[in-house]
Amino acid sequence: MIYIGVGSNLSSSFGSPRETCKAALKALETKGCHIVRVSKWYKTEPVPVSDDPWYVNCAIEIDTKLEPAKLLETLHQVEAEFDRKRGKKNAPRTIDLDILAYNDVVMDGAINLPHCRMHKRLFVLKPLKDIAPNWHHPISGLSIDKLLSAVTDEQKIHLYDEKINNL
């Protein structure tokens, strides 16, 4: 199973952060990434906490023939098409696409698999649980439930409701 984290906290030419995320999912489909599942959508506080706009986040499961390096290149290509500016760490962004896990592959180097900070982030773990409730971290062996219960930061995360949380 290949899982991708999706997030945005800035509007783009595609619309609101959520509309931008949805458009990015469509763009991935045209680049050899068949979307199998999409989690619920969440509204999440920036990490680290700041005055920046809150994010819209989800996780997706994809099926692809792309190897990890080519998949990462494809994700960066989509980010560039959506006017993602890379600069200051944790800066607001129009789109953020991260490989969370690529089957049970473990890599440390130019690509880190599984994602090196995913086990500390509710905005990754909660959506991932929606689509992979039985997933286990390939390094620690911990279940998604154990990972969720181990997050110590007070991260604010809410189910996204278009009627209430208009981003």
- Closest listed residue to residue 4, CA positions, set 66, 53, 46, 47: 66
- The DSSP line for 76-131 is HHHHHHTT----STT---S-EEEEEEETT--B-SSS-BS-TTGGG-HHHHHHHHHH
* Contact in structure between 89 and 126 (CB atoms under 8 Å): no
Residues annotated as part of the active site: 84, 93, 96, 98
* Sign of torsion over alpha carbons 137, 143, 146, 149: positive
